[in-house]
Amino acid sequence: MTKGAYRRLFDLTGKAALVTGGLGILGRGFCAALADSGADVAVVDLDEAGARSFAAELAGTYGVRTIGIAADVADPASVAKMAEAAEAALGPLSILHNNAATKTGNVGDFLASVADYSLETWREVMAVNLDGMFLVAREVGGRMAERGRGSIIQTASIYGAYAPDQSIYEGSEYLGRRINTPPVYSASKAGVIGLTKYLATYWGARGVRVNTLTPGGVESGQNDTFRQRYGARVPLGRMADRDEMTGALIFLASDASSYITGQNILVDGGLSAW
């Protein structure tokens, strides 16, 4: 390798990326990291005005091409329209960050106990967290497979790989509301990990890599009780900052990970090492 060749493995200049859930807690940082690494970025979210505004902000800051697109990832027609719009604006997509997830329109229903969890809420979450993952991967990944190249990164959660410790939720709050991790969240995120492995083997021979990015707990409005109890379970002794997820994304999106597929990259401060 010549001087600079290893560093250039992480360069995404000239590549087009699409990020679902682009306005979320982690989504904004993911979009910014891709743009800062040189990628043109399609910001996808339910909020069309917000997606367009943030896309324009990225273009102004990083000097890349962007587009903001409204899409419902649980709707096949909306997903197809999303992919068409992204490729019409940016060219063939070579990076997909399948990142969208939901807490539904009623957070109280989302955080209900196992005994009180409604099937309606369960299905609403699954429609986005798992059905949406499949629909977006099928649409964009299929296009990548036809061209013989692409990298798909799917966001899961530490609680899709490991069960939550219920004791850390005693006295814990998020933005002033008592919190827990509901069963549908763990089940849907575990499904993402399984879907990743399937698609990695399905498309591997056609040049499409598929990996999972699994964040541990990210600080985003939890109270001191939760932060302290969660941090006590982590070898690094704290929750993550949202920007600490972006390095793994750039690695998986870039040629630096060209021989990595079907893997679950846990960015969890060592929680899974206990």
Q: Do residues 139 and 74 touch, judged by C-beta distance below 8 A? A: no
C-alpha closest to that of 6 among 258, 260, 262 = 258
Give Cα separations from 90 to 6, 73, 94, 95, 274 (angstroms): 26, 20, 10, 12, 44
| CA–CA dist 146, 263 (Å, integer) | 22
Neighbours of 200 (CB within 10 A): 19
Q: What is the dihedral of CA 107, 244, 16, 253, to 10 degrees?
A: -110
Coil, strand or helix at 221: coil
The H or E element that residue 94 is part of is strand 93-98
> Which residues are known catalytic residues?
185
C-alpha closest to that of 243 among 13, 30, 38, 5 = 30
Dihedrals phi, psi of 28, to nearest 5 degrees: -60, -45
- Produce one character per residue of 205-225: b if its CB has 16 or more CB atoms within 10 Å, e if not: eeebbbbbbbbbbbbeebbee
Cα dihedral across residues 151, 249, 97, 52: positive or negative: negative
Residue whose token pair is 């982590």: 234
